[in-house]
Amino acid sequence: MLPTKSVELKTGDNNKTTREPISNLVQKIPETDSDQLVSRLERLQDNTKNNSIAINIEEAIALGVKNNPDLEVAFRDIQALEWQLIAAKRRWFPKLSLNGGQPFTGYRWETFVENNYAEKRDLSTTQTTSETYSTQARATVSWDFLDLSRQADINAAEDKLRRQKLLFNVSARNLILRIQQDYYAIQSSAQLIESFKAIYAINRQQLNIQKARQAIGMSTILDVAQTESQLFSQLNQLVGYTQSYNIQAGRLAQSLALPPGKLAIPNKEAAPQGIWTQDLNQTIDEALKQREEVLASIAAAEAAEWEGIAALRKYLPVFSIQADGNLDLTNRFQTTLITEQPRTNRINDRERWSGAIGIGFRWNAFDGGISAANAQSQFAQSRKFLAEASLSKLEITQQVQSSYSQMETARIGIKSAEQAYRSAEIAQEAARARLDVGVGDIFSVVQAIGLLSSAAVQKSQSTLNYNNSIAELYRYSANWPLDSYKDVELRVKTNNQTTKP
**Tens-digit pLDDT profile for residues 87-106:** 999 999 999 988 877 676 76
Confidence label for 7 from pLDDT (cuts 50, 70 and 90): very low
Rounded Cα–Cα distance for residues 126 and 118 (Å) = 14
Rounded Cα–Cα distance for residues 439 and 446 (Å) = 15
In Å, how far from its chain's centre is CA 155? 28
Burial string for 457-494 (b: 16+ CB within 10 Å, else e) reads: bbbbbbbbbbbbbbbbbbbbbbbbbbebeebbeebbee
Rounded Cα–Cα distance for residues 481 and 473 (Å) = 10
Contacts 24+ apart (CB under 8 A), 359-363: 359/319, 359/320, 359/321, 359/322, 360/142, 360/319, 360/320, 360/321, 360/322, 361/317, 361/318, 361/319, 361/320, 362/317, 362/318, 362/320, 363/316, 363/317, 363/318
Rounded Cα–Cα distance for residues 293 and 299 (Å) = 10
For position 419, what pLDDT does the model report? 95
Confidence label for 338 from pLDDT (cuts 50, 70 and 90): low
Q: Are strands 124-146 and 318-338 parallel, antiparallel or unpaired?
A: antiparallel
For position 421, what pLDDT does the model report? 93
Rounded Cα–Cα distance for residues 277 and 97 (Å) = 64
- Mean pLDDT value of segment 49-65: 95
Question: Which is more confidently placed, 329 or 31?
Answer: 329
Q: Which amino acid is at 311?
A: A
For position 213, what pLDDT does the model report? 83
State pTM to two decimals: 0.83
Residue 383, CA distances (Å) to 214, 296, 298, 301, 448 in order: 79, 14, 10, 7, 62
Question: Which is more confidently placed, 475 or 501?
Answer: 475
Question: Which is more confidently placed, 302 or 202?
Answer: 302
Q: Which amino acid is at 359?
A: I
Q: Which amino acid is at 454?
A: S
Provide the 8-state DSSP code for 497.
T
Residue 245 has pLDDT above 70, yes or no: yes
- Residue 236: what are its φ and ψ, rounded to 5°? -65, -35
Residue 32 has pLDDT above 70, yes or no: no
Of 256, 120, 115, 271, the closest CA to residue 188 belongs to 271
For position 396, what pLDDT does the model report? 97
Structural element, H or E, at residue 409: helix 370-436
Q: What is the mean pLDDT of the chain?
A: 87
For position 278, what pLDDT does the model report? 95
Question: Which is more confidently placed, 181 or 225?
Answer: 181
Structural element, H or E, at residue 100: strand 95-116
The lowest-confidence range among 328-337, 416-425, 430-439, 458-467 is 328-337
Close Cβ partners of 243 (under 8 Å, ≥ 6 residues apart)? none
Domain 38-67+147-317+363-496 sits in CATH at 1.20.1600.10
Confidence label for 495 from pLDDT (cuts 50, 70 and 90): confident
For position 108, what pLDDT does the model report? 67
Neighbours of 259 (CB within 10 A): 7
How many helices (DSSP H) and strands (DSSP E) are in the chain? 11, 8
- 3 state DSSP class of 347: strand
Rounded Cα–Cα distance for residues 197 and 190 (Å) = 11
Residue 258 has pLDDT above 90, yes or no: yes
For position 118, what pLDDT does the model report? 56
The lowest-confidence range among 17-31, 154-168, 239-253 is 17-31
Neighbours of 110 (CB within 10 A): 11
- 3 state DSSP class of 268: coil
Confidence label for 381 from pLDDT (cuts 50, 70 and 90): very high
For position 4, what pLDDT does the model report? 41
Question: Which is more confidently placed, 351 or 487?
Answer: 487
Q: Which amino acid is at 400?
A: V
Q: Which amino acid is at 85?
A: L
Percent of the chain whose pLDDT exceeds 90: 63
Residue 60 has pLDDT above 80, yes or no: yes
- Mean pLDDT value of segment 107-117: 66
**Rg of the Cα trace of the chain?**
43
Rounded Cα–Cα distance for residues 427 and 375 (Å) = 75
For position 113, what pLDDT does the model report? 64
For position 8, what pLDDT does the model report? 47
Rounded Cα–Cα distance for residues 440 and 433 (Å) = 8
